[in-house]
């Protein structure tokens, strides 16, 4: 969410920066208009309150002196103020809400250098800071070469008898899956491996967050008010709770309404949780296989930083997510999302796309975003600097990575001609040392 004071001071910069984003419902001039009404109201209200407070003090003194005529005179003087103050307070509440509602549906401002474009065709491949395609190729696994036609994950999974969409549909409907036996264990192994990696080697604190969250938490991480349709809700008391669409929600909100000391930053959190998404807007997309499910596991990373360090942290977090694929030996590329393809709250986003030989294409497996103070403002998360000043923190989030999609990537990249799946070396300790599953055994 934007700071209205900043918009007031930089109206042309505001309009220019958001010109390349979609769905910007208000211009700087419109917002400033609401704000001017609001400030005029505050001024009137403050003046009336000042008068009331001063006079009330005099009444107190007069009462102490038992000067009843003076008391009566003073009370007559403030008689009309009560109504003015009450209506002024109501008016201010109304204008505060109006301004907040308007600000809360404006997307974040892209950082300088984010490519300008309308959709995913405007995204640009990224090879790391000062990186090139050549240097990237030295650390990323190459595409695997097959002596046979590689299959899609659901073909091998169903042939193994360990991935069942039909029974899942009977139990829960479309966009669910049942994994069994070695494949279920492999899914678990991937999740454990990634979580351990981030905790043991990348400096993140492991978190077991709530999976059901309040509307306020969702507002903090931008899911509300605009993206309510993407969520599942359960009734609770007179209200409701949402199933988290990502652990970004509870983990970023760990700092909501707090002021942390600068020397505690950066905070780095990671969690392995189920995620729940209604996929309301994606009917017909990716209906085969487990690419797009209502429920999936994901390892999520969240970082809380100072404003000065957030872009460096963004590069680090991207590297942490890439490390997962490098250690798994899966070929991938990184894309810098363009202005038209970025999420609502992001200043800049890198997507990691894993190579899926069965589909003969790259598919998103991780998304790493820096949000600046956009979310911090929404949930009032601040830090006290070494200079004593209190400012909003910066927040970042990234998948490290989606477990279900990583399973797909392993299945497709490590498939063998006999229908078995080789186990990447880093996962073997989590698989009782086995080197392959499925196939003719």
Partner RNA sequence: GGAGAGGUGGCCGAGUGGUCGAAGGCGCACGCCUGGAAAGUGUGUAGGCGGGUAACCGUCUCAAGGGUUCGAAUCCCUUUCUCUCCGCCA
Contacts with RNA by CB under 7 A lie at 4-5, 39, 42-43, 45-47, 49-50, 52-57, 59-61, 63-64, 75, 78-79, 81-82, 85-86, 89-90, 93, 237-238, 259, 384, 388, 390
Residue 377 · residue 1 · CB < 8 Å: yes
CA distance 43 to 55: 19
Interhelix angle 181-201/310-328, rounded to 10 degrees, is 140
CB of 11 to RNA, least distance (A): 15
CB of 4 to RNA, least distance (A): 7
CA distance 332 to 351: 10
CA distance 131 to 269: 27
Phi/psi for 348 (5° steps) reads: -160, 140
CB of 253 to RNA, least distance (A): 14
CB of 43 to RNA, least distance (A): 5
* Residue 108: partners with Cβ closer than 8 Å, 6 or more residues away: 344, 345, 346, 347, 371, 372, 374
Name which of 62 and 190 has its Cβ closer to RNA. Answer: 62
CB of 58 to RNA, least distance (A): 8
Which residue(s) pair with 363 in the sheet? Answer: 354
What is the DSSP code string of 122-183?
G-EEE-STT--HHHHHHHSPPPP--SS-PPPHHHHHHHHT-EEHHHHHHHH-SS--EE-HHH
CA distance 412 to 401: 17
Q: Is the dihedral of CA 87, 88, 90, 94 positive or negative?
A: positive
Name which of 217 and 427 has its Cβ closer to RNA. Answer: 217
Per-residue CA distances from 308 to 305, 343, 372 (Å): 8, 22, 10
Name which of 49 and 436 has its Cβ closer to RNA. Answer: 49
Name which of 253 and 311 has its Cβ closer to RNA. Answer: 253
CA distance 103 to 217: 17
Name which of 35 and 320 has its Cβ closer to RNA. Answer: 35
Closest CA relative to residue 261, chosen from 380, 381, 374, 386: 386
Name which of 41 and 415 has its Cβ closer to RNA. Answer: 41
CB of 38 to RNA, least distance (A): 7
CB of 46 to RNA, least distance (A): 4
Name which of 53 and 287 has its Cβ closer to RNA. Answer: 53
CB of 350 to RNA, least distance (A): 32
Closest CA relative to residue 242, chosen from 228, 256, 253: 228
CB of 1 to RNA, least distance (A): 12
Residue 345 · residue 370 · CB < 8 Å: no
Name which of 86 and 181 has its Cβ closer to RNA. Answer: 86
Q: To which residue do tokens 């507002």 refer?
A: 219
Name which of 79 and 145 has its Cβ closer to RNA. Answer: 79
Name which of 77 and 315 has its Cβ closer to RNA. Answer: 77
Name which of 34 and 407 has its Cβ closer to RNA. Answer: 34
Residue 245 · residue 309 · CB < 8 Å: no
The DSSP secondary-structure symbol of 115 reads P
CB of 8 to RNA, least distance (A): 8
CB of 144 to RNA, least distance (A): 43
């Amino acid at each position: 969410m934007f700071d209205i004071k900043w918009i007031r001071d930089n109206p042309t910069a505001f309009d220019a920066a958001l010109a390349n984003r979609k769905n910007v419902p208000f211009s700087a001039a419109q917002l400033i208009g609401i704000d001017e009404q609001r400030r005029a109201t505050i001024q009137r209200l403050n003046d009336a309150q000042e008068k009331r407070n001063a006079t009330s003090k005099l009444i107190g003194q007069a009462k102490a002196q038992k000067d009843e005529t003076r008391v009566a005179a003073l009370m007559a003087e403030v008689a009309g103020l009560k109504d003015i103050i009450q209506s002024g307070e109501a008016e201010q509440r109304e204008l505060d809400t109006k301004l907040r509602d308007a600000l809360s549906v404006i997307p974040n401002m892209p950082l300088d250098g984010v490519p300008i474009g309308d959709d995913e065709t405007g995204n640009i491949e990224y090879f790391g800071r000062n990186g090139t395609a050549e240097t990237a190729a030295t650390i990323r696994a190459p595409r695997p070469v097959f002596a046979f036609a590689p299959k899609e994950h659901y073909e091998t999974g169903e042939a193994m008898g360990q991935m069942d969409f039909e029974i899942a549909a009977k139990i829960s409907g479309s966009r669910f899956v049942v994994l069994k036996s070695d494949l279920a264990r492999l899914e678990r192994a991937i999740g454990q491996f990634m979580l351990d990696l981030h905790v043991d080697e990348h400096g993140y604190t492991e978190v077991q967050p709530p999976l059901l969250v309040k509307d306020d938490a969702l507002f903090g991480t931008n899911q509300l008010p605009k993206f309510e349709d993407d969520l599942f809700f359960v009734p609770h008391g007179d209200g409701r709770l949402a199933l988290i669409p990502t652990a970004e929600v509870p983990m970023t909100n760990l700092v909501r309404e707090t002021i942390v000391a600068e020397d505690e930053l950066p905070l780095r959190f990671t969690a392995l949780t189920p995620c729940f998404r209604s996929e309301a807007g994606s009917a017909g997309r990716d209906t085969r296989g487990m690419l797009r499910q209502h429920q999936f596991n994901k390892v999520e990373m969240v970082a809380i930083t100072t404003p000065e360090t957030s872009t460096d942290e963004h590069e680090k977090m991207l590297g942490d997510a890439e490390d997962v694929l490098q250690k798994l030996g899966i070929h991938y590329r990184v894309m810098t999302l363009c202005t038209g393809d970025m999420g609502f709250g992001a200043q800049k986003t890198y997507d990691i796309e894993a190579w899926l030989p069965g589909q003969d294409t790259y598919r998103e497996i991780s998304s790493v975003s820096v949000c600046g103070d956009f979310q911090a403002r929404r949930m009032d998360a601040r830090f006290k600097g070494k200079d004593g000043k209190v400012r909003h923190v910066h927040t970042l989030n990234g998948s490290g990575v989606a477990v279900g999609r990583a399973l797909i990537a392993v299945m497709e990249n490590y498939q063998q001609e006999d229908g078995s799946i080789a186990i990447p070396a880093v996962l073997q300790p989590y698989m009782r040392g086995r080197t392959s599953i499925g196939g003719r055994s």
